Amino acid sequence: MCDNNREMTMATINARIDDDIKNQADEVLKLMNISQTQAIAAFYQYITEQKKLPFVITSIVKTPHDLLRESTDMLAEALAVISNLQVWTEQQDGIGKAKLMEYYRRLDALYCCAKEKIGLLSDNRDAELGCVP
């Protein structure tokens, strides 16, 4: 039961999430005309009322080979991004700042994810050897 006489205090939440996920979610929220604050408040309200998350979290067990393959795939994608960037810079018009920042953010995300996956390997030497052509 809610005490209507009680003054409601507000808390601040700081969370770190992947830039791409945040940007995609922000686009969806904008289409729904919902602010980040409203979405997070609704999420917490659901947890409070239902005593559970509104979705199921699953754990995926990955082998060192899986992690190495995923990081190799990310590095291959990074190489493709760099190739695209090279094509853009060689064009007469050059490349706009927005496009350059888009490429930079993608490369940064790929680097961070690949580094994280390689860091999960118990023997990073295997990962280093896997990157040698």
Q: What is the pLDDT of residues 78-119, one digit of tens each?
A: 888 888 887 877 777 777 778 788 888 888 888 888 878 777
pTM equals 0.42
Percent of the chain, pLDDT > 70? 86
Length reported for the chain: 133
Q: Determine phi and psi for 126, rounding to 5 degrees.
A: -60, -40
Whether the per-residue pLDDT at 131 is higher than 50: the answer is no
* pLDDT score, position 122: 59
Long-range CB contacts (within 8 A, 24+) of 80-88: 81/106, 81/107, 81/110, 82/107
Whether the per-residue pLDDT at 129 is higher than 50: the answer is no
- The CA-atom distances, in angstroms, between 36 and each of 10, 23, 28, 42 are 15, 11, 10, 10
C-alpha 73/C-alpha 68 separation (Å) is 9
C-alpha 11/C-alpha 6 separation (Å) is 16
